[in-house]
């Protein structure tokens, strides 16, 4: 059963300007494992975190550090959640999180589906 769907798009250049204007933003939004990635990948990860927030329906108490995009050996992305984010998903009954990300033509996008496994 699908419990939530979220999508987000990010203008990569605009996102880059935000990171340049406010250097602490990179450390606030991204985990250490994410910070050194190229700008397009950071923008896609930001979109993934925003899409997860939309799918969850409520971000009260969420920390950016509690949402980390990881990749498996086949480079398939997934979201590792901890803290209040993990608590919220458990409250919803979400046991599976699907993530798709892309970046092209100056835009990064992400799509998240929260599912209760049957």
What CATH superfamily classification does 2-115 receive? 4'-phosphopantetheinyl transferase domain (3.90.470.20)
- The pLDDT of residue 104 is 95
Q: What does the DSSP assignment read for 41-73?
A: HHHHHHHHHHHHHHHHS--TT--GGGEEEEE-T
Spatial separation of the C-alpha atoms in residues 73 and 67, rounded to whole Å: 20
Q: What pLDDT, on a 0 to 100 scale, did the predictor assign at position 58?
A: 85
Q: For the chain of 118 residues, list the mean pLDDT of each consecutive stretch of 10.
A: 97 98 96 96 98 94 95 93 96 96 96 92
- What is the per-residue pLDDT for 15? 98
- Residue 41 sits at the vertex; the CA angle it makes with 38 and 44, to the nearest 5 degrees, is 150
pLDDT at 117: 83
Q: State residue 26's pLDDT score.
A: 96
Domain ranges within the chain, ordered by starting residue: 2-115
């Amino acid at each position: 059963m699908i419990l939530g769907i979220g999508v987000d798009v990010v203008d990569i250049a605009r996102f880059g300007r935000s990171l340049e204007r406010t250097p602490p933003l990179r450390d606030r939004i991204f985990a250490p494992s994410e910070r050194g990635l190229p700008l397009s990948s950071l923008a896609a990860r930001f979109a993934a975190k925003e899409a997860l927030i939309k799918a969850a329906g409520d971000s009260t108490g969420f920390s950016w550090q509690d949402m980390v995009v990881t990749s498996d050996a086949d480079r398939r992305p997934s979201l590792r959640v901890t803290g209040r984010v993990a608590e919220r998903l458990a409250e919803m009954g979400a046991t599976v999180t699907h993530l798709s990300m892309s970046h092209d033509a100056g835009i990064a996008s992400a799509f998240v589906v929260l599912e209760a496994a049957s």
